[in-house]
Amino acid sequence: MSEPKASEPGDRAEFSRPPSKMAASEPGRRTRVLVVTYDKIGPRMAGPAIRSYELARALAREHDVLLACRHEPERDGDGFEVRGYLKDEAVLRKMVEWCDVVIAFGFLLLECPDIVELGKVVIADVYDPFTLEVLVQRRDDPLAIQLREHRGALAAMNEQLQLADYFLVASDRQRDLVFGMLAALNRLNPHTYQDDPAFERLITVVPFGLPSEPPAAAAPVLRGVHPGFGPDDLVLLWAGGIYEWFDPLSLIEGIAALDAPDVKVLFMGMDHPNPEVPEMHMGARAVDLAERLGVRDRSVFFNEGWVPYDDRVSFLLEADVGVSTHYRHAETMYAFRTRMLDYIWAGLPILCTEGDTLAELVEGRDLGEVVPAEDPSAIARAVERLLDRSRRDVCAAHLAELAGELTWETVAAPVVEFCRHPRHAADREGGAIPRTPVESQLHHLYDEAHEEIHRLRREREGLLREIDVLSAFRERVQGSLPYRTFQRIRGG
């Protein structure tokens, strides 16, 4: 992999579509946009990688785009470059020096303060509420680990909220969540208010999108190919992975209770393509439950790998229903279930749990069936309704109407427009600049030290209580008859 040269960023040797040498503010200048993702870019991609890739593709129609990832990429760009910086800060810094705008995800600003120090315009994509995810993901760990992981996630989220110029969220509900966090961090201040009283220049909704071209299958993958799938079966497809915040267990129990040999469920991906993603236990629990109920490889099937991004369409078009079930908790309230967009693209009626933004969409636009959380009986009844072909046809018609509203070209329009005339947030230009990365890291270290002091104090208090208990026990022993007798014998 060749590195972007700091002295000649963006020349033809480094990028297939080099930007002009005009200043970013000059008319006709193609803005240089760096999209950075921690996820793996390749044939097999999870939600964050897909979003980064598709945003890069949408932006590349008007701007010069480089998609940078932590791993060696295994997929070419479509009108844009894809490069791996392999966790090398020097390489990433050269990429940052080249660009005008950085689109950052997750922990990037906390781990790479160069982005802000170099004066780049920063767009933070905060569509993934990872501070809530980590609460679910780590709930069974020892409390010390839960607190450590929570502090790290919170520090990363706060760093984005304090330092970015523009924020992307996936739904109005997420916008409200981020609005509250921005207010608490003094980003909704007189500078940003006078710039735009509605704060639309600070935060915008960019949902997960779907392709503009209709899906077209390449080859059969289930019926007549995969053992257990007959030509007339009703196939329920669980696209994507099985994470801790999902509830595959109620779905499996509902299918087992239904006891319909012609109803099949396929979990499309078990082995996450990013090796840095922590192991999820929910997948193993789902497999174990299916085995105990006697439905594994009879009514419930697990694809042990991860379906390549370009091959997923074949699974979607052979399925009859798309399914997504989850638990009732805070992550659900603010999540945006990205793979459900594939169901809309493929015209699959949707069976999902209530409680999130897309469930409201399914119910409001009659795209399928919405069930209560952790209710296998309700799931079984919903599947029975979806066995009716006429019911599925009604949902499919509504899905077709919606699909055109959610193409990547449509949903990415606000960020494409922002990059035409990139600008710092008003409070980063007007003097009320948020804390610098160094200050943020010092505050984070202070918080960790403060927590460690409290932990040591709690341990000290516990030890003092134990000493008091042991002292009282010693006094009782010394006052006992056996002890006094023993002392007289020993003294004698």
pLDDT per residue as tens digits for the range 63-73: 999 999 988 99
Q: Looking at residue 22, what is its pLDDT?
A: 33
Q: What is the percent of the chain where pLDDT is above 90?
A: 50
- Between these two residues, 53 and 140, which has the higher pLDDT value? 53
Is residue 218 a part of any domain in this protein? no
Same domain, 108 and 170: yes
Is residue 182 a part of any domain in this protein? yes
- Is 70 exceeded by the pLDDT of residue 340? yes
What range does the domain containing 243 cover?
A: 234-406
Nearest CA to 412 among 101, 77, 54? Answer: 54
Same domain, 255 and 352: yes
Same domain, 471 and 372: no
- Between these two residues, 444 and 474, which has the higher pLDDT value? 474
- Residues 340, 358 contacting (CB under 8 angstroms): yes
- Is 50 exceeded by the pLDDT of residue 459? yes
- What does DSSP say about strands 166-169 and 121-125: parallel, antiparallel, or unpaired? parallel
Stretch 463-467: mean pLDDT: 83
CATH of the domain at 146: 3.40.50.2000
Is residue 27 a part of any domain in this protein? no
Q: Looking at residue 245, what is its pLDDT?
A: 81
Q: Which residue has the tokens 């964050």?
A: 48
Q: Looking at residue 136, what is its pLDDT?
A: 83
Q: What is the pTM of this model?
A: 0.76
Same domain, 312 and 365: yes
- Is 60 exceeded by the pLDDT of residue 205? yes
Rounded Cα–Cα distance for residues 367 and 219 (Å): 27
Which of 155-169, 312-326, 438-452 comes out lowest in average pLDDT?
Answer: 438-452
Q: 3-class DSSP state for residue 32?
A: strand
Q: Looking at residue 162, what is its pLDDT?
A: 92
Is residue 13 a part of any domain in this protein? no
pLDDT tens per residue, range 241-298? 888 888 999 999 999 999 899 999 999 876 665 666 666 688 889 999 999 999 999 9
Within 10 angstroms of residue 410's Cβ, the number of other Cβ atoms is 14
pLDDT tens per residue, range 403-417? 989 999 999 999 999
- Residues 341, 127 contacting (CB under 8 angstroms): no
- Looking at the structure of the chain, the number of domains it has is 3
Mean pLDDT estimate for the chain: 85
Q: Looking at residue 443, what is its pLDDT?
A: 58
Q: 3-class DSSP state for residue 201?
A: coil
* DSSP symbol at 288: H
Rounded Cα–Cα distance for residues 6 and 122 (Å): 19
Same domain, 416 and 402: no
Within 10 angstroms of residue 253's Cβ, the number of other Cβ atoms is 21
Q: Looking at residue 243, what is its pLDDT?
A: 82
- Is 60 exceeded by the pLDDT of residue 177? yes
In which band, very low, low, confident or very high, does the pLDDT at 477 lie, cut at 50, 70 and 90?
A: confident
Q: Looking at residue 278, what is its pLDDT?
A: 60
In which band, very low, low, confident or very high, does the pLDDT at 445 lie, cut at 50, 70 and 90?
A: low
Is residue 55 a part of any domain in this protein? yes
Same domain, 179 and 320: no
Q: What share of the chain is helix, strand, coil (3-state, %, to 5)?
A: 45, 15, 40
Is residue 111 a part of any domain in this protein? yes
* Phi, psi (degrees; rounded to nearest 5) at 228: 105, -10
Same domain, 117 and 179: yes
Provide the residue type at 338 as one letter: T
Within 10 angstroms of residue 151's Cβ, the number of other Cβ atoms is 15
Same domain, 129 and 204: yes
Is residue 119 a part of any domain in this protein? yes
Q: Which two tokens stand for residue 464?
A: 């003092």
Category of 265 on φ-ψ map: left (φ > 0), alpha (ψ -120 to 50) or beta: beta
Same domain, 146 and 253: no
Q: Looking at residue 253, what is its pLDDT?
A: 96
Same domain, 184 and 68: yes
Which of 57-71, 99-113, 451-465 comes out lowest in average pLDDT?
Answer: 451-465
Q: Looking at residue 441, what is its pLDDT?
A: 59
In which band, very low, low, confident or very high, does the pLDDT at 9 lie, cut at 50, 70 and 90?
A: very low
Q: Which two tokens stand for residue 202?
A: 């600070």
- Residues 389, 38 contacting (CB under 8 angstroms): no
- Residues 100, 115 contacting (CB under 8 angstroms): no
Spacing of C-alpha 267 from chain mean position: 19
Same domain, 52 and 122: yes
Same domain, 385 and 459: no
Stretch 313-327: mean pLDDT: 92
Is residue 343 a part of any domain in this protein? yes
